[in-house]
Amino acid sequence: MTISEAIPTPVRLSAVAAPGQPEPTPALEHLYRGFEQEMLVPLWTQIGDLMPAQPNSKAAAHLWRWENLVKLAAEAGRIVPVGRGGERRAIALANPALGGRPFATPTLWAAIQYLMPGEDAPEHRHTQHAFRFVVEGEGVWTIVNGDSVRMSRGDFLPQGGWNWHAHRNAASEPMAWIDGLDIPFSYYTESQFFEHGRDRLDAQETGTPEYSRSERLWAHPGLLPLAQTQAQHTTPLLAYRWVDTDRALNEQLALEREGYPATLSPGHAAVRYANPTNGRDVLSTIRCEMHRVGSGARTLAKKEVGSSVFQVFDGQGTVTVGDKQWAVRRGDMFVVPSWQAFSAQCDAGQASLDLFRFSDTPIYEAVHTYRSQVDAQA
Amino acid sequence: MTISEAIPTPVRLSAVAAPGQPEPTPALEHLYRGFEQEMLVPLWTQIGDLMPAQPNSKAAAHLWRWENLVKLAAEAGRIVPVGRGGERRAIALANPALGGRPFATPTLWAAIQYLMPGEDAPEHRHTQHAFRFVVEGEGVWTIVNGDSVRMSRGDFLPQGGWNWHAHRNAASEPMAWIDGLDIPFSYYTESQFFEHGRDRLDAQETGTPEYSRSERLWAHPGLLPLAQTQAQHTTPLLAYRWVDTDRALNEQLALEREGYPATLSPGHAAVRYANPTNGRDVLSTIRCEMHRVGSGARTLAKKEVGSSVFQVFDGQGTVTVGDKQWAVRRGDMFVVPSWQAFSAQCDAGQASLDLFRFSDTPIYEAVHTYRSQVDAQA
Amino acid sequence: MTISEAIPTPVRLSAVAAPGQPEPTPALEHLYRGFEQEMLVPLWTQIGDLMPAQPNSKAAAHLWRWENLVKLAAEAGRIVPVGRGGERRAIALANPALGGRPFATPTLWAAIQYLMPGEDAPEHRHTQHAFRFVVEGEGVWTIVNGDSVRMSRGDFLPQGGWNWHAHRNAASEPMAWIDGLDIPFSYYTESQFFEHGRDRLDAQETGTPEYSRSERLWAHPGLLPLAQTQAQHTTPLLAYRWVDTDRALNEQLALEREGYPATLSPGHAAVRYANPTNGRDVLSTIRCEMHRVGSGARTLAKKEVGSSVFQVFDGQGTVTVGDKQWAVRRGDMFVVPSWQAFSAQCDAGQASLDLFRFSDTPIYEAVHTYRSQVDAQA
Amino acid sequence: MTISEAIPTPVRLSAVAAPGQPEPTPALEHLYRGFEQEMLVPLWTQIGDLMPAQPNSKAAAHLWRWENLVKLAAEAGRIVPVGRGGERRAIALANPALGGRPFATPTLWAAIQYLMPGEDAPEHRHTQHAFRFVVEGEGVWTIVNGDSVRMSRGDFLPQGGWNWHAHRNAASEPMAWIDGLDIPFSYYTESQFFEHGRDRLDAQETGTPEYSRSERLWAHPGLLPLAQTQAQHTTPLLAYRWVDTDRALNEQLALEREGYPATLSPGHAAVRYANPTNGRDVLSTIRCEMHRVGSGARTLAKKEVGSSVFQVFDGQGTVTVGDKQWAVRRGDMFVVPSWQAFSAQCDAGQASLDLFRFSDTPIYEAVHTYRSQVDAQA
């Protein structure tokens, strides 16, 4: 059963007595029956939903606990095989207000993926942009166009659309990580292509190198190889290592302490993962960031057009999304719907609260509809 | 009642015996109940729908006859008032496969709007991009930021998001035209803002000038005013007149006859409405074009990522969308879903078949996911 | 004899007693002799010239009278043949402060070109960007890539680098016009390529059409042919006709009178000739504009990085460049060096003072070094 | 005495009997005297020089030996003070074919700068773009907008126009390094602004930190601070350290050995120093690169529009520029004029030949006149 079959098709219009609506009369009923027959819907019955004063997201702010995600993923690891057809043992967050669909937000897919020792997820490619982020564990290599990329705690691994990729667990323990993709956006805009690759990788691709060829070519600060110097729409750098991210965040907080501008607000350091060939987002539909909120600090409350998914990378604290608030800890994931105010506070006893975030911001920037608003702090 | 309330919220998963699916067992049923409770959906039950080999549009190719549209719009003109709240007497095409929603395609809104003699549609603004196109009639002026713009047959009138606008019928006859907007795209991506403007226009804004101030400043070929020379995301030119469009199309066909490259394929001339400040699309989410298919000619069959809405401006012919085919005439509107092949043929006895088209192509180009494929002609 | 042979090659340094200079001593003289021998020059003897507080142009403001230009061009028409080798009967303005070189400004070439009845200037192409502007006369067609383009009073005819071009006088009278090129810029930066084309044009290229194919394809306001919709670095539109330019300027002044913003300053209308495919300059190194100063009006005095050449197209008035001032009339040409203030005033009895201008502004904008400053008006 | 005063101003034209020139006659002489009087120069006497078939550089390929540069700089260190007025103890390469001017090439300035122990070079700023490169020595900090940046062997330190900067030798030995600027380009295009800063730095700015604040904020591979995420025309990263450059070059050669594409040609690794905010050049007029030619390897011979300056960073080898060839070693500097073929070969006994290069390529790319040609290798 596909989702589309579940959608009812006829137009149904009711003449109702309501402010802004025409008076219900037999003539109006006759008109509405005519509309239904011709597959027409008047603006005046829909304008409140379609053209609100500001975004009024269909999605709900929601939290998923990491311990529950891991428990169910491990259970799936025991009973659901990985292979051609299902392709991946990926289990997606389904926003409670989005109709049971596997969409974390209207545009973003977020899933926990799980691979047992010795397992391979078969090679394929798709136009949807993707990334992996590792909150814990190690032992899996993702093989992108034949380049084996190690996945370790804190690493961010983007993978632009239409690149061949497979995953291999080369270790003796299961491993879980999260995937982010623009599946819902591609689904609504109907722009997806997909192809199966080879069922088995070549022997040379099954190595477990410390660093991928991609990193050896591209992970040097401010240095681009002359042999491949053209700007590329998606990043050619396939791994952003935690050691670099951690240092960048620490330096921002240190500079702030020394009196120099470096942070978003007091105690709130953040980096954006960037495509080194053009400085833009790693993926043309998904922005990825790592935030560090220092001990006891609180971020400014900010509303943005578009939606985000967060995962707590480290530390403990409290996050506020619209009118909801949760105490969060390592691995917990939550979504921020469009134009709902978000802020985070690090618990006083913690070194910091580290939050990985991905959002659909590049889409709005590309079509010039991005807006944001920082609320005055209470 | 809003659309969102109609969407069911629980996750429902069924363990079924099917290729690519794990074998239904009590353990799998237990796992699926766990997923449902935690608001999770596995990829393996959804991949066929979410990641097809190529776009498999939820939308249907569909045709609306102009005579039916006008008849119902005139009926609405008699019984539905225009004013604050409902804002516009606009009646939208509802794609039969999109669940009764007023969406012509997954991203595009197309409506017939109707104004009685002496009526005003009140001023407002919204972030959704919009345009008007006039297939017949005259007598209405659209007032954009206080600039009165005449609307006559064949004119194309774009109006970028967040500009104040109202409409006024200054003539003694009703008038109908079509509106195109990115309402569905804004709705899914949840980026809409809306404000009411003044309830009454100033006296000086109710003039009925032959040409708007916008045209007097911007409608000179290849000439930009030095006083406002910055590139703008949406076009500052508020009217593209039929006389210019008609001449441009005729010249392409004449050049083709003289042996020079000018057309898309033999007998198929086409222009894109462009923003003179940057040569890009008039609106950052909507591409608008006028096509002329010469007598007896047929366009190449083309598949494109993204969807289109067409209106027949003049002539008669046959259009083919995927596996559907219709004989069309002035005013008829139809939609082309993503990746369905489209071609058009002008009847032999006709001077030409003129087709106005709008599409969501700029969105895909902006995020680098546009693809197209021209089929070899039979 | 080439210009380069005239340049002396040895380094010559003098130890002088002057503020900011080291004290002349035998040791300093010894050091300077060492510098000379090794082809070295110290910054401290040159810094005042090389790094001034603001641009201090080597070029001079200068005026050339049209009647003198035409008289000498006509004399050349009688005694200097046009043909392969010399290529063009073009006579360049030589800025009095630029060493006798045929450079109107450090970056711009400006010449009067003259063609006798029945004469052809042979086909060639070069990477230097060029344009023609016609202050008076008619009868010549410029043939660009085989497309014959009529040249009439007020017409502006850009021609991007590396296009084949020839000129033909198809009339019974001589004709003069001006050429603008980036020859000095290409000369200093040493980026020029040149090729001879065919010695004789094909019969079909020697027509005298009212409108070129280029115009028929591209000269429709806001409309771009779908068959060639890629942005191009230089404009594909080969003629910008006076009727359009004149109307655009008149509308700006009319809008100003009606109380709307449209002019640069009171009574000062201006348009920029633009590439319709991207809204940018017609040529990537040369900006071209037409200015109209209304009766009795005066422009703001403005300093800009980079240099300009003006030709008076119509009317009479007074122009001020730095500390020079001239009464000017039709055809007169003058240069404005970098960072010298320019203003123009139309004589009270004149309908308007129309000034054609070309400048090297796109170069500075491309490398982000453009600056300007408008002086408060006295 | 400034350079401009040395340039003769009158136009001088000679009627000569030569191919492509009009026959010398009294009438021609009369015409030429008329041209001279009106400050006019005909194209036909200049076209060979101005419009050659391909760039024919006025500049000469030339080599400066590092030992001579250092010897003279040290001599200057003893007798020429550094301070306000002269501003810097910088000694520029004067191309032997560019008239004794301190121009290494028509567009580029290259100088050795020398600072004695305890000396300061005073603060100023200018619109000219600049960088430092350190071939040997240490102990100097350059202070850019108050941020102290260490300068050590192999470090590349760009500094975009209009940033305040000073230099301080905090060590007990003199130190030399090279400066590259676009002074000649700014000089010809007359776009320079200059201001003096403070005569003395604040106490806090005279520290000698291992890493500048700029590096702490920007030198993390693929990571950009969210607090300053706007693209900038010139790089905000003020030091590119040798350890990173060396590793990037080694990895390219290692990947080549492993069979993967990474180098420009066999044995020829190279990186471009890039602006992390946009992936473009560090400076909008100057491209900077480091090349490593492996033991015994030889680069392809390449012609490019525009000019370059090289400094040998390490190793020994042979470089060929047009028809000249030199054996080179550490510190030697040489220039490659426009469109002269360049290649380099590493001596067989050497680990590698490392060449630092800077060029004016971004200028040509910005105005779309860049061309290159790789010659088939002998």
Transcribe B254-312 into DSSP letters.
Answer: HHHHHT---SSBTTEEEEEEB-TTTSSBSSSS-EEEEEEEETT-BPPPEEESS-EEEEE
> Measured between alpha carbons, how far is D319 from D218 in angstroms, rounded to an integer?
35
Q: Which chain C residues contact residue D46 at CB under 8 A?
A: 3, 92, 102
pLDDT digit string, tens, across residues C228-241: 877 789 999 999 99
Taking CA D361 as the corner, what is the angle to CA C157 and CA D303, rounded to the nearest 5 degrees? 95
* Mean pLDDT on C98-112: 97
3-class SS of residue D327: strand
Among chain B residues, CA nearest to A87: B44
In our burial notation (b when 16+ CB lie closer than 10 A, e otherwise), range D90-110 reads bbbbbbbbbbbbbbbbbbbbb
Whether residue D6 has pLDDT greater than 70: no
Nearest to B31 among A28, A75, A85 (CB): A75
Partners of residue B319 on adjacent β-strands: B326, B344
Closest CA to A97 of B39, B35, B38: B39
Give Rg (Cα) of chain C.
Answer: 23
Taking CA C38 as the corner, what is the angle to CA C32 and CA C42, rounded to the nearest 5 degrees? 45
Strands A194-196 and A120-126: antiparallel
Q: Which fold has domain D62-223?
A: Jelly Rolls (2.60.120)
Neighbours of chain B (3+ CB pairs under 8 A): A, C
Helix D26-38 / helix C66-79 crossing angle, nearest 10 deg:
160
- Which residues of D lie inside 8 Å of A (Cβ-Cβ)? 213, 216-229, 231, 235, 237, 240, 244-245, 247-248, 251-252, 254-255, 260-264, 270-279, 282, 289, 291
Q: Is residue C94 a contact partner of residue C250, using CB atoms and an 8 Å limit? A: no
- Tell me the CB-side half-sphere exposure of residue A58, using CA atoms within 13 A: 27
> Measured between alpha carbons, how far is B47 from B51 in angstroms, rounded to an integer?
5
- Proportion of chain A above pLDDT 70, given as a percent: 97
> Measured between alpha carbons, how far is B181 from B130 in angstroms, rounded to an integer?
4
Whether residue D10 has pLDDT greater than 60: yes
Per-residue model confidence (pLDDT) at position A202: 78
Per-residue model confidence (pLDDT) at position A9: 66
First-last CA distance in chain A: 49
* Mean pLDDT on D195-204: 84
Per-residue model confidence (pLDDT) at position A37: 96
Which position has the token pair 């302490």? A257
> Measured between alpha carbons, how far is A303 from A371 in angstroms, rounded to an integer?
8
Among chain B residues, CA nearest to A186: B50
Per-residue model confidence (pLDDT) at position B277: 96
Which ranges of B99-241 does DSSP label H, i.e. alpha helix? 183-189, 213-218
- Tokens at residue D346, please? 């590493």
Nearest to C213 among B222, B235, B260 (CB): B260
Phi first, then psi, for residue D63 (nearest 5°) are -120, 135
Mean of pLDDT over chain D: 94
- Tell me the CB-side half-sphere exposure of residue B275, using CA atoms within 13 A: 24
DSSP H/E element including C152? strand C147-152
Nearest to A100 among B8, B72, B306 (CB): B8
Residues whose CB is less than 8 angstroms from the CB of residue C19 and which lie 6 or more positions away in sequence, other chains included: D85
> Measured between alpha carbons, how far is A37 from A17 in angstroms, rounded to an integer?
22
C-alpha separations of C302 from A102, C298, C321, C341, D31 in Å: 61, 12, 10, 5, 38
* Mean pLDDT on C289-295: 97
Whether residue A61 has pLDDT greater than 70: yes
First-last CA distance in chain C: 49
Q: Is residue A208 a contact partner of residue A150, using CB atoms and an 8 Å limit? A: yes
- Proportion of chain C above pLDDT 90, given as a percent: 89
Q: Which long-range contacts (CB under 8 A, 24 or more apart) does C136-140 make?
A: C136/C176, C136/C330, C136/C331, C137/C173, C137/C174, C137/C175, C137/C176, C137/C177, C138/C171, C138/C175, C139/C169, C139/C170, C139/C171, C139/C172, C139/C173, C139/C175, C140/C115, C140/C167, C140/C168, C140/C169, C140/C170, C140/C171, C140/C175, C140/C177
Closest CA to D193 of C303, C299, A317: C303
Q: Which chain A residues contact residue D260 at CB under 8 A?
A: 213
Q: Is residue B179 a contact partner of residue B109, using CB atoms and an 8 Å limit? A: yes
> Measured between alpha carbons, how far is A279 from D229 in angstroms, rounded to an integer?
9
Which residue ranges make up each domain of chain B? 62-223, 242-374
Residues whose CB is less than 8 angstroms from the CB of residue C335 and which lie 6 or more positions away in sequence, other chains included: C59, C60, C61, C62, C93, C95, C104, C105, C108, C110, C307, C308, C309, C310, C321
pLDDT digit string, tens, across residues B67-126: 999 999 999 999 999 988 889 999 999 999 999 999 999 999 999 999 999 999 999 999
> Measured between alpha carbons, how far is D61 from D44 in angstroms, rounded to an integer?
29
Per-residue model confidence (pLDDT) at position D268: 98
Q: Is residue B222 a contact partner of residue C219, using CB atoms and an 8 Å limit? A: yes
* Mean pLDDT on C44-63: 96
> Measured between alpha carbons, how far is D135 from D332 in angstroms, rounded to an integer?
10
Q: Which chain D residues contact residue A357 at CB under 8 A?
A: none
Q: Is residue D54 a contact partner of residue D304, using CB atoms and an 8 Å limit? A: no
**Interchain contact, B220 vs C248, CB within 8 Å:** yes
- Proportion of chain D above pLDDT 90, given as a percent: 89
Nearest to D3 among C49, C62, C366 (CB): C49
Which position has the token pair 């006389």? B243
Closest CA to A178 of A119, A115, A132: A132
In our burial notation (b when 16+ CB lie closer than 10 A, e otherwise), range D193-207 reads bbeeeeeebeeebee
pLDDT band with cut points at 50, 70 and 90 for residue A241: very high
Interface mutation vs chain B, best among C214, C215, C224, C281, most B CBs within 10 Å: C224
> Measured between alpha carbons, how far is C260 from A20 in angstroms, rounded to an integer?
36
First-last CA distance in chain B: 49
Whether residue B129 has pLDDT greater than 60: yes
- Tokens at residue B98, please? 């999109």
Phi first, then psi, for residue C181 (nearest 5°) are -145, 170
Among chain A residues, CA nearest to D289: A226
Q: Which chain C residues contact residue B218 at CB under 8 A?
A: 221-222
Q: Do the domains B242-374 and B62-223 match in fold? A: yes
pLDDT digit string, tens, across residues A259-316: 999 999 999 999 999 999 999 999 999 999 999 999 999 999 999 999 999 999 999 9
**Interchain contact, D217 vs A272, CB within 8 Å:** no
Whether residue B56 has pLDDT greater than 70: yes
> Measured between alpha carbons, how far is A324 from A318 in angstroms, rounded to an integer?
10
- Measured in angstroms, the CA of D62 and the nearest CA of chain C are apart by 10
> Measured between alpha carbons, how far is A191 from B52 in angstroms, rounded to an integer?
10
Phi first, then psi, for residue C78 (nearest 5°) are -80, -30
- Measured in angstroms, the CA of A234 and the nearest CA of chain D are apart by 12
Whether residue C178 has pLDDT greater than 50: yes
Q: Which chain C residues contact residue D44 at CB under 8 A?
A: 80, 85-90
Q: Which chain D residues contact residue A289 at CB under 8 A?
A: 226
* Mean pLDDT on B361-376: 94
**Interchain contact, D217 vs A255, CB within 8 Å:** yes
Domain D242-374 -> CATH class = mainly beta
Interface mutation vs chain A, best among D156, D212, D224, D287, most A CBs within 10 Å: D224
Closest CA to A64 of A346, A319, A340: A319
pLDDT digit string, tens, across residues D311-329: 999 999 999 999 999 999 9
Whether residue C199 has pLDDT greater than 90: no
> Measured between alpha carbons, how far is C230 from C163 in angstroms, rounded to an integer?
18
> Measured between alpha carbons, how far is D99 from C6 in angstroms, rounded to an integer?
9
Q: Which chain C residues contact residue B304 at CB under 8 A?
A: none
Please count the other Cβ atoms lying within 10 Å of the Cβ belonging to residue B377. Answer: 10
Per-residue model confidence (pLDDT) at position A377: 53
Among chain D residues, CA nearest to C371: D191
- Tokens at residue B93, please? 């095409």
Nearest to B219 among C222, C252, C261 (CB): C222
Residues whose CB is less than 8 angstroms from the CB of residue C365 and which lie 6 or more positions away in sequence, other chains included: none
**Interchain contact, C38 vs D72, CB within 8 Å:** yes
Nearest to A367 among B50, B53, B284 (CB): B284
DSSP conformation letters of A119-169: -EEEEEEESS-EEEE-SS-EEEEEEETTEEEEEETT-EEEE-TT--EEEEE
**Interchain contact, B221 vs C224, CB within 8 Å:** no
Among chain B residues, CA nearest to C277: B279
Q: Is residue C42 a contact partner of residue D80, using CB atoms and an 8 Å limit? A: yes
Strand order in the sheet with C90-93: C156-159, C130-133, C175-181, C109-115, C90-93, D40-42
- Measured in angstroms, the CA of A259 and the nearest CA of chain B are apart by 37
Please count the other Cβ atoms lying within 10 Å of the Cβ belonging to residue C254. Answer: 14
pLDDT digit string, tens, across residues B160-218: 999 999 999 999 999 999 999 999 999 999 999 999 998 888 777 778 999 999 999 99
* Mean pLDDT on B39-52: 95
First-last CA distance in chain D: 49
* Residues constituting chain B: 378
Q: Which chain A residues contact residue B57 at CB under 8 A?
A: 190
Q: Is residue D123 a contact partner of residue D114, using CB atoms and an 8 Å limit? A: no
Per-residue model confidence (pLDDT) at position D377: 53
Least confident among A228-232, B60-64, C331-335: A228-232
Report the phi/psi class of residue C368: left, alpha or beta, with left for phi > 0 and alpha for psi in -120 to 50.
left
Whether residue A184 has pLDDT greater than 50: yes
Whether residue C369 has pLDDT greater than 70: yes
Q: Which chain D residues contact residue A277 at CB under 8 A?
A: 279
pLDDT digit string, tens, across residues B295-324: 999 999 999 999 999 999 999 999 999 999
Whether residue A175 has pLDDT greater than 90: yes
Pairs of residues, one from chain A and one from chain D, whose beta carbons lie less than 8 Å apart:
148
**Interchain contact, C276 vs B271, CB within 8 Å:** no
Please count the other Cβ atoms lying within 10 Å of the Cβ belonging to residue A173. Answer: 10
Determine the residue type at C18: A
When the candidates are 3.40.50.720, 2.60.120.10, 3.30.420.10, 3.20.20.70, the CATH number that belongs to A62-220 is: 2.60.120.10
* Mean pLDDT on D176-197: 97
DSSP conformation letters of D85-128: TT---EEEE--TTTTT-S-SSSS-EEEEEEE-TT-EEEEEEESS
pLDDT band with cut points at 50, 70 and 90 for residue D375: confident
3+ Cβ–Cβ pairs closer than 8 Å linking C and A:
no
Taking CA D100 as the corner, what is the angle to CA D95 and CA D103, rounded to the nearest 5 degrees? 45
- Proportion of chain C above pLDDT 70, given as a percent: 97
- Proportion of chain D above pLDDT 70, given as a percent: 97
